[in-house]
Amino acid sequence: MRDIIQSKKRGNLVVISGPSGAGKGSIINEIVKGNDQVWLSVSMTSRSIRGEEVNGREYYFITRDEFEKKIQEGELLEYTEYSGNYYGTPRGKINEHLQMGQDVILEIEIEGALKIKELVKDALFIFIMPPNMKELKTRLKNRKTETEEKINRRFKRAYQEINEVTKYNYVVVNDELDCAVSKVRAILLAERCRVDRIEEVYVGSEEELLHESLVDNKKIVNLERKI
């Protein structure tokens, strides 16, 4: 039997941002795990690989010269420079996956997210917030991948980035990972249920007859009341 509501098949473009150390990557990893309704667009960067990162998983790691060439050739949806390195979103297969009905997640810096907001009016924006600034600094230090100077620079920038939260649709505080993941999943589900995604409301012949009989009975009752 045909569903009463036919909604848009196209998926949502979901932009997830937040200060470095807020735990965006950990949340996204849980969201996409075993979920074929979500596709993660891997960003590109000119920075060096950290720790156990893998090329093509966390980022596509390329040289600065290669990145600038891709800028010139228009291969990036957006890009920005952060802490001396380029970060950007390859156009690639984003539209293809949206047309397939998958939600496409972009994990990008706030500057890049605001560029996406100008380009894609119906994109969804989620800001991941640390529980507090002390915890944020602890997380940055525990990475043990950067100098104290770089950590302090990221920490100072985090204050500026948090001021941009009002430009997003949702904010999720990542205090406990499981709780934060559940909230993001709930947001994605709720967005799928938005009324403006409805393309058609179908009422079958039997339902039409029932509706007409109810309307006719209501008219008879109203007439009897007047008499």
Is residue 74 in some structural domain?
no
14 lies in some domain: yes
Residue 220 lies in a domain: no
| 127 belongs to a structural domain | yes
Report the domain count for the chain: 1
3-class DSSP state for residue 85?
strand
For the chain, the DSSP string reads ---SEEE--S--EEEEE--TTS-HHHHHHHHHTT-TTEEEEPPEESSPP-TT--BTTTBEE--HHHHHHHHHTT-EEEEEEETTEEEEEE-TTHHHHHHTTPEEEEE--HHHHHHHHHH-TT-EEEEEE-S-HHHHHHHHHHH--S-HHHHHHHHHHHHHHHTTGGGSSEEEE-SSHHHHHHHHHHHHHHHHT-GGGEEEE---HHHHHHHHHHHHHHHHHHHHHH-
pTM of the model: 0.76
Cα–Cα dist 95/44, whole Å: 17
Please tell me which of 27-31, 119-123, 196-200 the model is most confident about, judged by mean pLDDT: 27-31
The yes-or-no verdict on residue 221 having pLDDT over 50 is no
Residue 83 lies in a domain: no
CB 86 within 8 A of CB 46: yes
Asked whether 158 and 110 are in contact (CB, 8 A), the reply is no
Domain span at residue 126 reads 5-34+102-201
Answer whether residue 13 is part of any domain: yes
- Span 50-62, pLDDT tens digits: 888 899 888 999 9
Q: What is the CATH number of the domain that holds 14?
A: 3.40.50.300
- pLDDT attached to residue 99: 92
Convert the pLDDT of each residue in 112-124 to its tens digit: 899 899 989 899 9
96 falls within a domain: no
Is 23 a member of any domain?
yes
